[in-house]
Structure 1
Amino acid sequence: MNNSIESIKIKDNGLRHQVYKIIKDKIARGELKPNQRIFESRIAEQLSISRGPVREAIRDLAKEGIVINIPRKGTFIAACSIKDIEEIYSLRAILEGLAVRRSINYLSKKDIKNLENLREEMVTASKNKNIAKMVEKDMQFHKVICYSSKHTRLIKFWSEMDYQIRTFLVTADLVFYNPEQIAQRHNKIIEAIKAKDPDIAEKCIKNHINQIGKEIIDNFKKRSIVSSSTLKK
């Protein structure tokens, strides 16, 4: 089952948080789509729980802007705006540019091998049209670089964007089905890291992120994926 909440056995304690996480994970994997309506009663039935924890979880998601409640219409998965993508990707480019400059001094041969393995797993997932796995491996690749920077605040800010980045990538899935392009872009970053050239590494990762941001925006415009605010009209 792809676009509803699957039947999952969940623990009695912390139901609200568990339902919140289940819905959020489904969105990040592309199983719940932007502007798709969700139903409190249906989710409760599928999870075999009362509607109370589901209602609370949806309220929490609404506070974060992940879902939107529209009077007399229902609750919908929020879609991002072009401005959201521009802001997230411009900030991401700055953060990862700094991260790769710093991480060059800390990344071990084992870490670099891990980056190479993740690149290959991305390529394989792309060839298999497995967008969820490809996005997961891509995020792991960039996480290795960011966490290796040993910059606490950078890591914090980057981690806070993680969910939105995943959602953008999964929603714009048609952009990322080019295995050769994936390999080439990430190879440039890896080679600059191996050469311990912070200027080239920063340039490569910024170019990569800025290009992805542009492709996501173009893809969203082409497919008319727009902010859920338009549903109110």
Structure 2
Amino acid sequence: MTKLTDEVYTTLRRKIMEGELAPNEQVKEERIAKLLDVSRTPVRTAINQLTLDGLLYRERGRGSFVSAWNTEDIKEIFEIRIQIESKAAGLAALKASAMHIENLLQCSIKMDELVEKNQKII
């Protein structure tokens, strides 16, 4: 992919992931090209890649649409996140300095205070 196509791909991927482009919403080349002020060629290439990645799907004669997440997709993502985040937390703990640990302790104390304060309001 060219640099411009990469930029279009990244922008569309971000819009999909952030929900700016909703599930089952049609993605029209011309509209995207105008929005991003590019020709339709890099948009078409980016849409093809997003389709291969499973973030878009095509309907014959109708165009490209944003893929919806299903329960299995969500379960799979959370399983992956559990693995990655557990490993990252373990590595961070091994490399933490005394200053890092003190900062985390202070944050924890502050959160406890805020929770306690909020419970008294309710």
TM-score range, shorter chain: 0.7 to 0.9
Give 2:65's match in structure 1, choosing from 65, 72, 76: 76
> RCO greater where, 1 or 2, for CA within 8 Å and sep 6 or more?
1
Q: Give deviations 1:180-209, integer Å, cap 9, x for gaps.
A: 6xxxxxxxxxxxxxxxxxxxxxxxxxxxxx
- Given the alignment, which residue of 26, 30, 35 partners 2:24? 35
Rg comparison, structure with higher value:
2
- Answering whether residue 13 of structure 2 is matched by residue 24 of structure 1, we say yes
| 1:205-224 correspondence runs (5 A) | none
Q: Which runs of 5+ in 2 are unaligned?
A: 116-122
Which of 82, 86, 98 does residue 87 from structure 2 map onto?
98
The runs of 4+ residues in structure 1 deviating greater than 3 Å are 110-114
RMSD: 2.7
| Alignment map for 1:39-54 (pairs within 5 Å) | 39-54=28-43
SS across alignment from 1:104: helix
Quick one: distance in 2 between partners of 1:81 and 1:32? 16
The answer for the alignment partner of 1:107 in structure 2 is 96
CA distance in 1, matches of 2:101, 2:4: 37
Q: How does 1:114-125 map to 2 (within 5 A)?
A: 116=107
Provide structure 1 residue ranges, at least 5 long, that are not aligned to the other structure: 1-12, 121-179, 181-233
User: CA–CA distance in 1 between the matches of 2:59 and 2:10?
Assistant: 22
Equivalent position amino acid for 2:72 in 1: K
1:96-151 deviation line (CA, Å, top 9, x unaligned): 2333233212123247748x4xxx8xxxxxxxxxxxxxxxxxxxxxxxxxxxxxxx
Deviation at 1:58, TM superposition (A): 0.5
Against the structure 1 CA distance between its residues 100 and 42, is the aligned structure 2 distance closer, same or farther, given a 3 Å change threshold?
same
Q: 1:112 & 1:16 partners in 2: Cα distance? A: 45
Partners of 1:48 and 1:83 in 2: CA distance: 37
Percentage of matched positions with identical amino acids? 33
Amino acid at match of 1:82: T
Determine which of 48, 51, 60 is the counterpart of 2:49: 60
Q: Structure 2-normalised TM-score? A: 0.72
CA deviation map 1:25-52 (0-9, x unaligned): 1122221111111100111122222211
What amino acid does structure 2 have at the position aligned with 1:90?
A: E
1:98-177 correspondence to structure 2 within 5 Å: 98-108=87-97, 109-110=99-100, 113=103, 116=107
